[in-house]
Structure 1
Amino acid sequence: MVVVGGGPAGATAATDLARAGRDVLLLDRAGRIKPCGGAIPPRLVRDFAIPEGILCAKISGARMIAPSDKRVDMPIDDGYVAMVDREVFDEWLRARATAVGATRRAATFETISRDPDGTARVHFRTAREEGGQSVSVRARAVIGADGANSAVAREAVPQRGPIPFVFAYHEIVEAPEAGAADYVADRCDVFYQGKLSPDFYAWVFPHGKSASIGVGSMQKGFGLKEAVAELRATTKLDGVRTIRKEGAPIPLHPAKKWDNGRDVLLAGDAAGVVAPASGEGIYYAMVGGRLAAEAVETYLETGRSKALAGARKSFMKAHGRVFLILGIMQRFWYGSDKRRERFVSICRDADVQRLTWQAYMNKELVRRDPMAHVRIFFKDLAHLFGLVRP
């Protein structure tokens, strides 16, 4: 098996396949770190056996900042949101894959050809430290987990279709000393302000000894770096040392097709599994990687290439409704500062806070307490029609 891409999706797929006794080659382009706030829910920690030492912080709440600069605190009453530094977290996932038997190489995917018997041959170029040579291997199956601009998808799954992107940029900085900035070490700050993002949001997320300051937007040409500079100045984080800077497109809609109907399957950002509105991707990437491994395993055991389509089917059954709701929410509430103001105002509501955290922590829609949903529905209508002050 060849897995292209060593992020959370690819590393998870490689780990699960290696544990199943498969011969796995994990190709990862060294030195690339995706811009990411780094938040992961407790369910991810449980489901994927993430050790405590990998977590760089535990968040006890979030603060939502409206265009008017009104602030709404959303405390987590029971539990926490874990934070990870992607540089450390992704490397740990790749190391776990090799520890259970996967072979890892620093390399860049080039193309897929076919041997006379129809078997896929994966061509890649090794990194300079590995000789910088063009190499090829035969593969019974290929998992493309190589990001939003997946070369594997372009090569083998053109039916993937277009995916809407948010362009994200963040700067990892040293955490300030207590009281030196508008910053709390166990609180995530989310800025819903058009000046910082015309159609998404900006953030300041603690990472223990460091912090992620970032912004996303679907609007081409919007000054992401300028927005981050303004956010750093506003929060008094412009005086702390910058550790590194990263930018990348982030997909916000699952692709229509994840496999080629033969022996190639997509996972993670390549499959478009980042949640709209929130931009959360680590959990969904790892779920997608696990489902990809399961689908490939079924394909290998049965010889039925249709099994590969099971990865998308299973994912959408579990999470498709959440993605649909979040997509609608992003298109409506992020459309103007007037709507953002009302959106942040809604976040004051105790029912909204409780159901939001329950859904986030457990990664499923909360069906208990139907009256809470009814109350939220009518409160939303009141805000929509301007019957309450934001």
Structure 2
Amino acid sequence: MSKIDFDVVVVGGGPSGATAAADLARMGHSVLLLDRAGRIKPCGGAVPPRLMEEFAIPDSLLVARARAARMVAPSDRAVDMPVGEIGYVGMVDRDVFDEWLRNRAAQVGAERRTGTFERIERDGAAGAVVVYRESRTGPDMRVRARLVVGADGARSGVARDSLPGGENVKCVFAYHEIIKSPPANDHGFDPARCDVIYQGRVSPDFYGWVFPHGETSSIGVGSANKGFSLRGSVANMRREMGLDTCETVRSEGAPIPLKPLKRWDNGRDVIVSGDAAGVVAPASGEGIYYAMTCGRHVANAAHQFLATGQPSALRAARRTFLKEHGRVFWILGIMQYFWYSSDKRRERFVAMCADPDVQRLTWQAYMNKKLVRADPLAHLRIFLKDTAHLLGLRAAHP
């Protein structure tokens, strides 16, 4: 077997892999999109308006539009952050959303196959041989490609197989339950609002969430503490919010990476994308937009590689992504490291969220996916207030 079967094999059909496959197919390349059957990542499902516009996503895929977020402190103090007139937080159901993206990739020319990645083999001939199985007990199947894109999530098998250090990825472990949404209740559930819960008993190092999706809602939590019971925490949240009697539609768990990998390609014919590349925003855990953006950068770099045969072209994906989003990731990483480390600091963090400057710039940054520089005085005010909170010069409660 030495004939090249495809220009590119994309392993993983989530938002990043499906985006990369669609873009490469549109560029005229032969693409195989290989995805495991029935896999849905635990995810709040939030998407900004910029994603809808940038990736031509129809409004019909939105199951809800949240107009506010509520931040809940360890003391149970709640701070509402209304979006205002600048946009909304769109909500998607990942099972429907991801399948739509995979179908679009197929419609523009990518071939879809269902299977589980096993390994990459080398036999001295041109290209990499991707070995996969259509079922757990099925025979090994092989396909040869000029390039392999690993978009197979955190703890990626492709990264582990091909990249130095690809097996050592720091992760938060996330778990959520999708439930049938009730009407608004006296326990704090609001079908038009996203709740983010910053309490050590909910998560010792991350947060819990309640994200309404119209007819359903995602109730979840993340933590890097392996001894912490994610299921127990979700059960407690459901009970306290009067959601314990709601029907559970499904439950899912998976690792979420904490920072981008230092290298995304092997200098030869493999590159990773999305969660496999570690592009989940620290502190917020937001991943869909960044996964799809990463997939587009990877597709552009792959196109140059296929056109020139130069493996160095693959490096552009990481470089251009971090040029656009690296500063935001760095700031959010500092926020997570400092503010999530104790309930005392979480209390101060939620208090900061009550500030109008913080709310306005936070939502502008979320909608536009970049730091807002048009209002230096607002940034100065936030810096001074943030410093006061850090030094304990400002009370956590008004």
TM-score by length of 2: 0.95
Among 75, 81, 99, the alignment partner of 1:74 is 81
Q: List aligned pairs for 1:1-390, cutoff 5 A.
A: 1-78=8-85, 79-127=87-135, 132-160=138-166, 162-179=168-185, 181-390=187-396
Higher mean alpha-carbon deviation, 39-48 vs 157-166, is at 157-166
Q: Shift of the alpha carbon at 1:180?
A: 6.5
Q: Tell me, in whole angstroms, the C-alpha distance in 2 between the residues paired with 1:166 and 1:133.
A: 34
Given that 2:74 and 2:198 are in contact with CA atoms closer than 8 Å, whether structure 1 keeps it comes out as: yes
- Give the AA of the match of 2:282: P
Question: What is the identity, as a one-letter code, of the residue corresponding to 2:36?
Answer: R
Shift of 1:163: 2.5
Q: CA deviation at 1:161?
A: 6.7
Deviations 1:214-241 (A, max 9, x none): 0001111101000000000111111100
Deviation at 1:193, TM superposition (A): 0.4
Structure 1 residue 159, shift from structure 2 partner: 4.2
For structure 2, which runs of at least 5 residues remain unmatched after alignment? 1-7
Question: Shift of the alpha carbon at 1:136?
Answer: 0.7
Contact 1:29 / 1:107 at 8 angstroms: preserved in 2?
yes
Distance across 1 between alignment mates of 2:210 and 2:156: 28
Greater mean deviation of Cα atoms: 159-168 or 370-379: 159-168
Deviation at 1:49, TM superposition (A): 0.5
Deviations 1:240-262 (A, max 9, x none): 00000000110010000100001
Q: Which amino acid aligns with 1:288?
A: C
- Aligned equivalents of 2:204 and 2:184: distance in 1? 31
Does the aligned pair in 2 maintain the 1:61–1:186 contact within 8 Å? yes
Q: Distance in 2 between matches of 1:179 and 1:67?
A: 21
What letter matches 1:111 in structure 2? R
Contact kept, 8 Å, 1:124 with 1:136, in 2: the verdict is: yes
CA contact (8 A) 2:155 2:167 kept: no
Any gaps of 5 or more consecutive residues in structure 1?
none
Give the percent of matched residue pairs that are identical in Structure 1 and Structure 2: 64
Measure how far apart 1:116 and its partner are.
3.1
Distance (Å, rounded) in 2 between the aligned partners of 1:288 and 1:208: 28
Runs of 4+ in 1 over 4 A off after TM superposition: none
Deviation at 1:389, TM superposition (A): 1.9
The CA distance in 2 between the partners of 1:54 and 1:132, in whole Å, is 35
Q: Contact 1:201 / 1:217 at 8 angstroms: preserved in 2?
A: yes
Whole-Å separation in 2 of the counterparts to 1:173 and 1:180: 18
Shift of 1:388: 2.3
Q: How far apart in 1 are the matches of 2:346 and 2:74?
A: 7
Contact 1:159 1:257 in 2 (8 A): no
User: What value does the CA root-mean-square deviation take over the aligned residues?
Assistant: 1.2
Q: Describe the superposition over 1:306-360 as per-residue Cα deviations: whole angstroms up to 9, x where unpaired.
A: 0001100011111111111000000100010000000000000000000000001
Letter in 1 for 2:302: V
**Comparing 378-387 and 243-252, the one that deviates more:** 378-387
Number of residue equivalences = 388
SS of residue matched to 1:194: coil
- Are the counterparts in 1 of residues 183 and 191 from structure 2 also a CA contact under 8 Å? no
SS in 1 for 2:138: coil
TM-score (norm 1): 0.97
